[in-house]
């Protein structure tokens, strides 16, 4: 019997080691031969079990990166994924474009994703329910401490840019009416229509507080709009004022103007990776890789990345790949650590 046939036959009903010898007329095998064969089979199955477990261990050596559902977040999620793949032996599954802040927060606390990029001011107000404050360092330290205590999540070093909410109007209106600040725009708001994202309408650092701070009253209730549609709706005259993000690449391209937050209503929104503590403990090289990203991206660089995707319609993966290649010299650890050798 061939080796493959023997392996198949082992599991068949009625199979008895040594039966081939009886069929050939050689009599019943000795107890010693049967015992030897049994030991061989046991060792063989044990060896196969060890290989199977080793294979399972390799499969489990993967992490899941998530992101919210707008361009900058998809870019940053892809950036985390590619950088981790370059700097460690971990396999990365991508769950990008998940949804808004609360959906991503539920996903990471439930263990459905291992990390994503969050903004300090968003965490401070929307998740932790604190009133907005303007001190960037204080906000970061508070969210870092409370996320660790309440959710067992770790805030890594900020990526280097602050993506604050931006109150935006058409450039032609800003020039014609000599508007540069939100306070100046408030005088014209009763004749204007506004468009805001779904989260912005509900959050503590969103529209309700903004309206109270600046006395904003519009011609009709603000329209809730998808973030990807607001700028073009503003350009096309369907709305007159929107709340976007300061690093959006389309703002300058569409001749839109960001108004100064002259009453300093909005808190800082520094972008930083948030990671499950148990994932960092399981894969030490992950923390080392993420620390390399601290301070890597300026506001202007983030704006350019966003525009390459939104304005030039380039592929996100290629945009991120080109950016990391250009930053190659800044991302080399003194001695690259691999998961398999730690």
User: By the 8 A CB rule, do 231 and 307 touch?
Assistant: no
Residue 60 confidence (pLDDT):
62
Q: From residue 304, how far is each of 18, 116, 125, 205, 267 by CA, in Å? A: 74, 21, 28, 26, 23
Query: 165-258: same fold as 61-162+269-341?
Result: yes
The domain limits of the chain are 3-57, 61-162+269-341, 165-258
Q: For domain 61-162+269-341, give the fold.
A: D-Maltodextrin-Binding Protein; domain 2 (3.40.190)
Q: What is the mean pLDDT of residues 154-158?
A: 98
97-147: pLDDT as tens digits: 999 999 999 999 999 999 999 999 999 999 999 998 989 999 999 999 999
Q: What is the mean pLDDT of residues 254-277?
A: 96
- Contacts of 260-264 with C-beta under 8 Å, sequence gap 24+, read 260/180, 260/181, 260/182, 261/164, 261/167, 261/181, 261/182, 262/181, 262/182, 262/183, 263/182, 263/183, 263/213, 263/214, 264/134
- The span from the first CA to the last CA of the chain, in angstroms, equals 45
Q: Write down the H helix ranges in 11-135.
A: 19-23, 31-60, 71-87, 101-109, 120-122
177-210: pLDDT as tens digits: 999 999 999 999 999 999 999 889 988 899 999 9
38-62: pLDDT as tens digits: 555 566 666 666 655 555 544 568 9
296-337: pLDDT as tens digits: 999 999 999 999 999 999 999 999 999 999 998 777 654 333
What confidence tier does 24 reach under pLDDT thresholds 50, 70, 90?
Answer: very low
Q: Which CATH superfamily is domain 165-258 in?
A: Osmoprotection protein (prox); domain 2 (3.40.190.120)
Q: Write down the H helix ranges in the chain.
A: 3-10, 19-23, 31-60, 71-87, 101-109, 120-122, 136-151, 171-177, 182-186, 198-202, 207-214, 227-235, 250-253, 277-282, 284-291, 299-310, 316-326
How much of the chain exceeds pLDDT 90, in percent?
Answer: 73
């Amino acid at each position: 019997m061939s080796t493959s046939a023997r392996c198949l036959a082992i599991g068949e009903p009625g199979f008895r080691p040594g039966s081939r010898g009886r069929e050939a007329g050689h009599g019943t095998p000795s107890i010693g031969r049967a015992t030897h064969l049994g030991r061989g089979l046991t060792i063989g199955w044990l060896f196969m079990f060890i290989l199977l477990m080793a294979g399972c261990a390799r499969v489990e050596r993967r992490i899941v990166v998530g992101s919210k559902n707008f361009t900058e977040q998809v870019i940053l999620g892809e950036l985390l994924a590619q950088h981790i793949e370059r700097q460690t032996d971990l396999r990365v599954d991508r769950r990008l474009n998940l949804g808004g802040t609360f959906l991503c927060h539920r996903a990471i606390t439930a263990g459905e994703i291992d990390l994503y990029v969050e903004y300090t001011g968003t965490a401070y107000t929307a998740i932790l329910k604190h009133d907005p404050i303007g001190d960037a360092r204080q906000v970061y330290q508070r969210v870092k401490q409370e996320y660790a205590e309440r959710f067992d999540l770790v805030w890594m070093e900020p990526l280097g840019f602050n993506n604050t909410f931006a109150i935006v109007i058409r450039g032609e209106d800003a020039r014609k009416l000599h508007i540069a600040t939100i306070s100046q725009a408030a005088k014209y708001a009763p004749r204007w229509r506004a468009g805001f994202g779904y989260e912005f309408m509900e959050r503590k650092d969103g529209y309700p507080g903004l309206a109270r701070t600046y006395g904003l009253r519009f011609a009709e209730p603000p329209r809730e709009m998808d973030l990807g549609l607001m700028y073009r709706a503003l350009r096309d005259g369907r709305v007159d004022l929107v709340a976007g993000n300061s690093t959006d690449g389309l703002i300058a391209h569409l001749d839109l103007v960001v108004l100064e937050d002259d009453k300093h209503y909005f808190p800082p929104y520094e972008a930083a990776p948030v990671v499950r503590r148990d994932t960092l403990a399981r894969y030490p090289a992950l923390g080392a890789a993420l620390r390399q990203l601290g301070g890597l991206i300026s506001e202007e660089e983030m704006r350019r990345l966003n525009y390459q995707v939104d304005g030039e319609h380039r592929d996100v993966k290629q945009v991120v790949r080109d950016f990391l290649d250009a930053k190659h010299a800044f991302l080399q650890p003194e001695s690259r650590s691999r998961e398999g050798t730690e």
